[in-house]
Amino acid sequence: MSSPFAGKLWLAPLTFGGNLPFRRLCVELGAEVTVGEMAVVYKLLRDRSSEFALLRSHPDEPFFGAQLAERKPEALAEGARLAAARGARFVDLNCGCPIDGMTRHGLGSSLLKKPGRLARLVEAMGKAVTVPVTVKLRTGWHEGEENVAEVARACEEAGASAITIHGRTREQRYSKAADWDLIGRVAAERGVPVVGNGDILTHYEARDRMRRSGVTSVMLARGALVKPWLFREVREGRTWLPTPEERVGVLWRFVELLREHFHDDERGRRRALRFLPWHLGFFCRYRPLPEDAFLERSREHPLLQSRLSLAEGATALERLLADPRPETHELFARELLESTSREEALDRAGRIAAAERLEMPDEVLVPAASLVAG
Q: Where are the alpha helices (DSSP H) in 284-325?
A: 291-300, 316-322
Helices 20-28 and 244-262 cross at an angle (nearest 10°) of 130
DSSP E strand boundaries for the chain: 9-11, 33-35, 39-40, 64-69, 90-95, 133-138, 162-166, 194-197, 217-220, 308-309, 363-364
Enumerate residues 6+ apart whose C-beta is below 8 A from 94: 13, 38, 67, 68, 69, 107, 108, 136, 374
**Residue 162 DSSP one-character state:** E
Residues known to be catalytic: 97
152-187 as b/e: b if 16+ CB within 10 A: bbbbbebbbbbbbbbbbbbbbebebebbbebbbbbb
Cβ contact 67:45 at 8 Å: no
296-319 as b/e: b if 16+ CB within 10 A: eebeeebbbbbebebeeeeebbbb
Neighbours of 86 (CB within 10 A): 12
